[in-house]
Amino acid sequence: MPDTHFQPTYSIETHEADPRRPWFNLRRLLVLLVLLGAAPLLVNEFLSYQRQRLDRLESTRRSIDALADVVADSSAQMARGVGRLLTAVAVSPLVLADDPPACSRYFKRLLSQQPDFLNFGLIGLDGRVVCEGTGVGANALLGDRDYFKRALESDLLTVGAHQVGRITGRTSVVFARPVVQEGGKVKGVLFGAMDLKSLAGSLRGAGAVPGAAVHLVDVAGVVLASTGEGVSPDSLPLTDTVLRDAIRARRTGRVAGPGGEEAGMLRSLQPVNFQGTGALYVTVAVPTARVVAAPTHDLEFRMAVLVVIALTLAGVGWVLGERLIVRPVERLIDALRHVQTGDYARALRQPVAPLRELDQLQRSLGSLVTSLVGQRFERDEALGALSEREARYRELFSANPQAMYVYDIQSLRFLAVNEAATVFYGYTHEEFMDLTVLDIRPAWEREPLLARLSRLGSQASGGEVRRVWTHQKKNGETRQVEVIYQPTVFEGHAAELVMVSDVTARLTVEAQVRALYEKLEYRVTERTQELEASNRELEAFSYSVSHDLRNPLGAVGMFGQMLSAHLGETADEQAQLYLARIEKGVRGMEQLIDDLLALAQVTRARLEVVEVDLTALCRDVVSALRELDPAREVEVTLDDGLSCEGDAGLLRRLMDNLIGNAWKFTARTPGARIHIGRQTEDVVGGAAVFFVRDNGAGFDMTFASRLFLPFERLHGEHEFMGTGIGLATARRIVARHHGRIWAEAAVGQGATLRFTLGPFSAGA
């Protein structure tokens, strides 16, 4: 056996460590696992914080909504109390009388009794003060005030906006209402200017929500009264632009920040509802940070505790991992290095590992050493056997009767050729070794070959490839060959094994067969065109003859009627029989002509393919038959849901013929039955099979081949009337729909006519 050496295809030294993870080792992995174990606790704490935060925010929203409702209700009660006071004052005789001094004294006493008000007064219709309680504003012009104008337009309480009084010079909010004398005449407008400081009493209870800022504002968003933390100054517009925008838009309830996103403030806006004109609003706002401060502090504390615990466990894991895992694993790595160098004795001299799994790994290492010794022996034997097989393969290659060669796909030079190749091409083995694959190709095939090789690149194709090429022998003769390429590696070179079969004779025969086939195709096409032209001529002839027969046939019928009218009652029984036979023959001939015309039209008609409800169509046909023959009692069973695709007019004529055929041949059958449906099994070629079944006269299946031919009748005319054209027409209609029609019957047991429609049809 020749001396062989193992050549590894993979070396550990060539596999460099990943430079992206120089820090990653077993010690750090243990610490990372401990920290990852603590990660779920941290995530759980964070999720718990989120739930608490959302609950706290929602609870606070409900609280500020309730607070806004309470303050708005308190302010509404205050406004209604003012309204009742002004209503009582408006009907006072001193106010209704035309005595300004007495009226002023009355208002002065009233002002002393109502310390929350800065002034009471009466404004005349000309807008000037008639009387007031301070004694300094007589004849002052207040007609431009908004509350004065609105009070004249309504008989309800009117609330004005924030203002600085022209008489008192102090900030106030004015309540007003019209003064109406007897007879319904308006004398003027009664007003009461309330001090803004007195409005703070309606904001009691604001401390129920910690951190809340409560404001009472007018329709322009100016603060009339406020309480709580971080409130806006009185007599100035609200500093919170979100609430100001909501007041201008009359948008009450919960007020969100821009875009509806959660902002830094929780806000609620409620109107002060009272019976009158004008508007007051209550706003409540709480900073979000104030609401979630407690849950955030708890989260920070719990997170800090968990981090301390995780770091402690990581330190413990580092120490234990170093003693129990890392050092024993490093000793095992040293043992494997000894195995790699062949020092098996030192590889086995290892202390007992503290862990059972590592001890089992050490025992497995000992078994591995023993196995490696045995495998080395087996490898040497296998390499020897491989060398022997390679020698046999070379012998098979050389002695193969089929021309074969191996070439380098880079240099295109021949690496090996067998004896059959030297015989086929005419070159010696030595001459082949000096050639390339281009030298056995004619000039016109070298470019396609180079294009194929350029697509392969430096690698052989992935599998066996067959192709027909033209090869050139040494003497210049060219032959058509079928070439099979098989990728391989030959003596370290990327190569292709090529097997060559001479197919020149086969291709010649195939060309002759192809020429014969094309000639036969031409003859078939020519014959088909002749048959189509003949069919068109026959149809035209049938149509022409049918029309030409109508005139003489009409004359015969007309003269028969004239003869019958001429003879009248003088005609004997024999003459009446002759006349009846003439009329019957004319009717039969007319029916035959109609059937011939229908048969011709079926072939010429253009198909208009649509979805057809076959059940409804058959129902119409049966109804028409019952109207024509009302004395007949026939049990007709029609399945629901029958549908197909086809020409609606031709399918109507098809069902007229098939159902009319069943109707006719059950005329002499007691308890006649007709069933129209579709088979649920035995589908033909993927197409649905429809059928018309009856229990009528039936027929002998021996004559079934004549059933669909024109003018063929399986029953005498004395038994059943007819022209023999109906089923021929049905067959043509089915053929136009690329389908098939056939019949099954027995004499005296009825018949079943089945048909399919073509590839554009489908049963329901």
Residues in the chain: 764
- How many angstroms separate the CA atoms of 706 and 714, rounded? 8
CA 149 distance to own-chain centroid: 63
Convert the pLDDT of each residue in 536-550 to its tens digit.
Answer: 666 666 666 666 666
pLDDT at 762: 38
- Quickly tell me which residue has 């109507």 as its tokens: 652
DSSP letters, 650-703, are: HHHHHHHHHHHHHHHHTTTSTT-EEEEEE-SS--BTTB-EEEEEE-S----GGG
Handedness of CA 182, 188, 193, 199 (dihedral sign): positive
| pLDDT tens-place string over residues 388-398 | 777 777 777 77
Q: What share of the chain is helix, strand, coil (3-state, %, to 5)?
A: 50, 20, 30
503 Cα distance to chain centroid: 55
Q: How far, CA to CA in Å, does 99 sit from each of 91, 103, 138, 140, 184?
A: 15, 6, 13, 17, 20
Rama region for 543: left / alpha / beta (φ>0; ψ in -120 to 50; rest): alpha
* Residues whose CB falls within 8 Å of the CB of residue 613, separated by 6 or more in sequence, listed in order: 642, 643
pLDDT in tens, 86-102: 888 988 888 888 888 99
Decide if 122 contacts 97 (C-beta within 8 A): no
Least confident of 402-406, 429-433, 585-589: 585-589
Asked if pLDDT for residue 763 goes beyond 50, the answer is: no
**502-518: b (≥16 Cβ within 10 Å) or e:** ebeeeeeeeeeeeeeee
Write the single-letter amino acid at 141: L
Asked if 463 and 509 count as a contact pair (C-beta separation under 8 A), the reply is no
| Residue 141 DSSP class | B
Q: What angle do CA 46, 48, 50 make, to 5 degrees?
A: 70
pLDDT score for 1: 37
Residues 6+ apart with CB under 8 A from 661: 692, 726, 727, 753
Instruction: List, in sequence order, every residue forming a beta bridge with 487; answer none if it has no partner.
Output: 496
- Phi/psi for 581 (5° steps) reads -65, -35
Angle between helices 726-736 and 573-604 (to 10 degrees): 10
What is the end-to-end Cα distance of the chain in Å, rounded?
78
* Mean pLDDT, rounded, for 470-480: 86
State the pLDDT at residue 178: 92
Chain centroid to CA 421:
62
Worst-scoring range by mean pLDDT, 128-132, 219-223, 727-731?
727-731
pLDDT value of position 682? 55
Region for residue 478 given its phi and psi (left: phi exceeds 0; alpha: psi -120 to 50; beta: otherwise): beta
| pLDDT band at residue 5 under the 50/70/90 scheme | very low
Q: How far apart are CA 655 and CA 753, in angstroms?
A: 11
Of 277, 74, 76, nearest to 157 by C-alpha is 277
Look at residue 10 in the predicted model and tell me its pLDDT.
Answer: 46
**C-alpha triplet 543, 545, 551: angle, nearest 5°:** 110
Q: CB–CB of 82/175 below 8 Å?
A: yes
Task: Kindly report the number of other CB atoms within 10 A of residue 614's CB atom.
Answer: 25
Query: φ and ψ at 695, to 5 degrees?
Result: -115, 35
pTM metric for this prediction: 0.42
Q: Determine the average pLDDT of the residues in 94-122.
A: 90
pLDDT at 383: 76
pLDDT digits 0-9 by tens, 154-178: 888 899 888 888 888 888 899 999 9
Q: Rounded CA gap, 10 and 16, in Å?
A: 12
Burial tier of 701 (Cβ tally within 10 Å: 0-12, 13-18, 19+): middle
Nearest CA-CA partner of 257 in 270, 266, 248: 266
The residue that leads in pLDDT, 677 or 703, is 677
| 167, 134 Cβ separation under 8 angstroms | yes
Task: Tell me the two tokens of residue 233.
Answer: 């100054």
Identify whether the C-beta of residue 147 lies closer than 8 Å to the C-beta of residue 222. Answer: no
**Amino acid (1-letter code) at residue 323:** R
553-559 contacts at long range (C-beta below 8 A, 24 or more positions apart): 553/586, 553/589, 553/590, 553/593, 556/582, 556/586, 557/582, 557/583, 557/586, 557/590
> Which pLDDT tens digit goes with each residue over 612-639?
899 999 999 899 888 888 888 889 999 9
What is the Cα–Cα distance from 735 to 131, expressed in whole angstroms? 111
DSSP 436: B
Per-residue model confidence (pLDDT) at position 616: 92
pLDDT tens digits, 426-443: 898 888 888 888 888 888
CA distance 458 to 464: 17
Checking if the pLDDT of 764 tops 50, the result is no
Using CA atoms in the order 386, 391, 395, 398, what is the torsion angle rounded to 10 degrees? 100
